[in-house]
Amino acid sequence: MDVITSAVYLILLIIIFIFIFSMGLLTPKIDRKGFISLIAIGFIIGIIGGLFFITPIYDEIPNAAGAIEEIFNGNQEKITLEISNETDVNTVMNQISKIDGVISVKSTGFTLMTTNFTERRGNFINKTLKIINSNITSWNVNTSGVIKVNTNYQNPNEIINDISESISYSGGIATLNVYIYPVITLESSKLEEVKSKLIKDDYVIIKTEGPVTKKIQDTKKNMVDNNVIILLTGFVGILVALFGLYFDNFIEYIKNIYKTIYNKVYLNIKRIIKKYL
């Protein structure tokens, strides 16, 4: 939501509150039933204002916080994708690197989905993975058929083939599927544009990291539910209605305070000045 739209929403909300205030102002003398009706109308109209004009702005607060973070601390964000090895990974990474705002794309690891194997075979795989390919930096082996591998090598298919052949020849373990995780480093200011482009091209985003993303997530965690905001706006509607209803009394009260201050302070100061001058 842009600034102009937010301003229009706020103006409309103010108009609604002016309407509630006017209702109270135009009914200076009402019975108990009319008083309850005025409170109910103020509450309902306040809720409507909160639902249609406050919550859209409230929902944009995390993005606004992210934009501020981007100005002061934002530099780079990272997006992690999940793609199947049936896709030409190098071609995909090359295409993504050409998107406006993308700084670099590199493969950081992959997950092999295999047939189940014994714990003994799992221990053997754990001991031999680094020997299979020296570009493997860390790994996790689960006997349910999940082998997670982190690597610093740009061509994951080579490592995938090495592991698949090794576990197949040594233990008869079949590789069923492989998911590769390219990490995209991009300019913070282009985060939403790049994400929209990736989603449009049917890429699966599994993680977004960076100062802007963290700020947005932290802001969302600290925000109350929209229903609370709507209810609060309803109660503000009640207060505005009551203010309109007792506006004349309020003005009279202010005048009395002014007169009291004038009589007790101003006139006394004036007498003192006359006495000594």
Rounded CA gap, 110 and 193, in Å?
A: 26
pLDDT of residue 276: 63
Three-state SS for 30?
A: coil
Residues in a beta bridge with 207: 80
Q: How many domains does the chain have?
A: 2
Token readout for 115 is 């047939």
Identify the residue whose tokens are 């229009």: 8
- Give the list of residues 6+ apart from residue 26 with CB closer than 8 angstroms, or none: 244
Render pLDDT for 153-190 as a digit per residue (tens, 0 to 9).
777 888 899 999 999 988 889 999 999 999 999 998 88
Three-state SS for 176?
A: strand
Angle between helices 226-245 and 3-25 (to 10 degrees): 40
pLDDT of residue 233: 94
Do 36 and 126 reside in the same domain of the chain?
A: no
Q: Which residues of 183-209 are buried (b: 16+ CB within 10 A; e: fewer)?
A: bbebbbebbeebbebbeeeebeeeebe
**CB of 166 within 8 A of CB of 88?**
no
Which helix (H) or strand (E) segment holds residue 63: the answer is: helix 61-72
Render pLDDT for 43-60 as a digit per residue (tens, 0 to 9).
999 999 999 999 999 998
Three-state SS for 183?
A: strand
Tell me the CATH number at 106. Answer: 3.30.70
Residue 262 lies in a domain: no
Identify the residue whose tokens are 């102009």: 4
Do 106 and 229 reside in the same domain of the chain?
A: no
Residue 186 lies in a domain: yes
With 80 as the cut, is the pLDDT of residue 32 above it?
A: no
Residue 217 lies in a domain: no
Residue 177 lies in a domain: yes
Rounded CA gap, 215 and 229, in Å?
A: 21
- Give the list of residues 6+ apart from residue 112 with CB closer than 8 angstroms, or none: 146, 147, 148, 149, 160, 163, 164, 175, 177, 178
Top mean pLDDT of 150-154, 171-175, 250-254 is at 171-175
Identify the residue whose tokens are 């194997």: 117
Rounded CA gap, 140 and 80, in Å?
A: 19
Q: Whole-model pTM?
A: 0.70
Render pLDDT for 59-95 as a digit per residue (tens, 0 to 9).
989 988 888 888 877 678 999 999 987 888 888 889 9
Which helix (H) or strand (E) segment holds residue 88: the answer is: none
With 90 as the cut, is the pLDDT of residue 140 above it?
A: yes
pLDDT of residue 1: 65
Do 228 and 112 reside in the same domain of the chain?
A: no
Do 138 and 29 reside in the same domain of the chain?
A: no
- Give the list of residues 6+ apart from residue 139 with CB closer than 8 angstroms, or none: 126, 129, 147, 148, 149, 150
For a pLDDT cut of 90, what percent of the chain falls above it?
Answer: 43
Residue 9 lies in a domain: yes
Task: Name which of 105, 67, 113 is nearest 203 in CA terms.
Answer: 105
| Parallel/antiparallel/unpaired status of strands 146-151 and 76-84 | unpaired
Q: Which domain holds residue 46?
A: 3-65+222-245
